[in-house]
Amino acid sequence: MEFLKAPTLLLVIFSLAICSPISAQNKGGYWPSWAQDFLPPSNIQTAYFTHVYYAFLSPNNVTFQFDVDRTTASALNSFNTALHGKNPPVKTLFSIGGGSAGVKQLFSKLASSPGSRAAFIRSTIQVARNYGFDGADLDWEYPETQTDMNNFGLLLDEWRVAVNNEATSTGKPRLLLSAATRHEPEVRDNGVAKYPVASINKNLDWINAMCYDYHGPWTPDATGAPAALYDPNGSLSTSNGLQSWISAGIQRQKLVMGMPLYGWTWKLKNPSVNGIGAPAAGIGPGNEGAMLYSEVQQFNAQNNARVVYDTQTVSYYSYSGTTWIGYDDVNSVQRKVQYAKSLNIGGYFFWTAVGDQDWKISRLASQTWTA
């Protein structure tokens, strides 16, 4: 989840042994700190969200604690003052990590010993309380080995105990805990590493499954649907990911479906061959091939692009000349939200809330979920 990675987060379940009830709905949106200049938190339309995530903070790679400088402290205070003061107010969480370089290795080291886990957990609670957050979201992209996954589970176990104990001793509401995860309960970077579903069920309020980035600059030779609901040629899809989590035993209300408010671009080899899977010659325009949803709409209008809704994948693509863009739009988002509701899962989230155009997609998703 860096600029567009996704993503990539939390209600409480056991009090000491049993957490408090989980919310009936979760409509999340990530707000990246780089968006301050064009969409400050005060401009977020909170009627369409229940939870907004500040992205990102990362702990020190030696002490495993957060070093919050004066500028960041001011930004965190402003974020929470704005969103808690909105009508309606929303829950706020700070998301930890993201998809930037080195974060994966940092978390692997952090989770590997009791001492580093304890230092990190203490610091997350301090940051949440000092700056007014309702919880914290762990965005580890991704634990690569089964050892990492096991340590991830231990971290969650210890985090939940610490959060419960802090709430009991202070009388404050328990902090929410969530995690951004892969779209399915396995990571296959180095063999097969499986998420600790039992620990997730016991300790997290929900997970934000990043159901996007199935295709992008890392697949430069052919166009693809970045966040297909269905994959007619395989299993790389949101439906397969969500069903896999359910089959792995996750409690349905703790599963939250991610959707992208951005698209990925390719350069077509032959403009006459322009469907999903068309031969490509690398990435197209945008920020390293990425375009916010609002930028996709501007591109389509300015270039008289052909817009296609693909019923097989439940996704959109557009093309003009050699530029091809895969993304989600109104119809595909509505279909995805309806699908998530049919599974009786906990809700959905967007990476990122700032990508929308006049809140069109956010409004539609919210209305569809509550209909």
Q: Where are the beta strands (DSSP E) in 24-90?
A: 26-32, 51-57
Distance CA 209, CA 187 (A): 13
| Per annotation, catalytic residue among 2, 141, 166, 295 | 141
Q: What's the sign of the alpha-carbon dihedral 337, 338, 343, 345?
A: positive
- Amino acid code (one letter) for 183: H
Task: Give the strand pairing for 262-268 and 315-320.
Answer: unpaired
Strands 255-260 and 26-32: unpaired
Q: Which 3-state string (H, E, C) describes 215-259?
A: CCCCCCCECCCCCCCCCCCCCCCHHHHHHHHHHCCCCHHHEEEEE
| Cα separation, 358 vs 130, whole angstroms | 33
Residues 6+ apart with CB under 8 A from 304: 320
**Conformation bin of residue 185: beta by default, left when phi > 0, alpha when psi is -120 to 50:** alpha
Q: Which amino acid is at 334?
A: Q
CA dist 87 and 205 (Å) reads 24
Distance of CA 284 to the CA centre of its chain: 24
Which residues have C-beta within 8 Å of that of residue 309, sequence separation ≥ 6? 315, 316, 329, 331, 332
Say which amino acid occupies 62.
V
Q: Are 254 and 177 in contact (CB under 8 A)?
A: no
* Residue keyed to tokens 């634990």: 143
Tokens of 52: 């907004």
Radius of gyration of the chain (CA): 20
Q: d(Cα 327, Cα 281) in Å, to the nearest integer?
A: 19
Q: Is 158 a catalytic residue?
A: no
- List, by residue number, the catalytic residues: 141
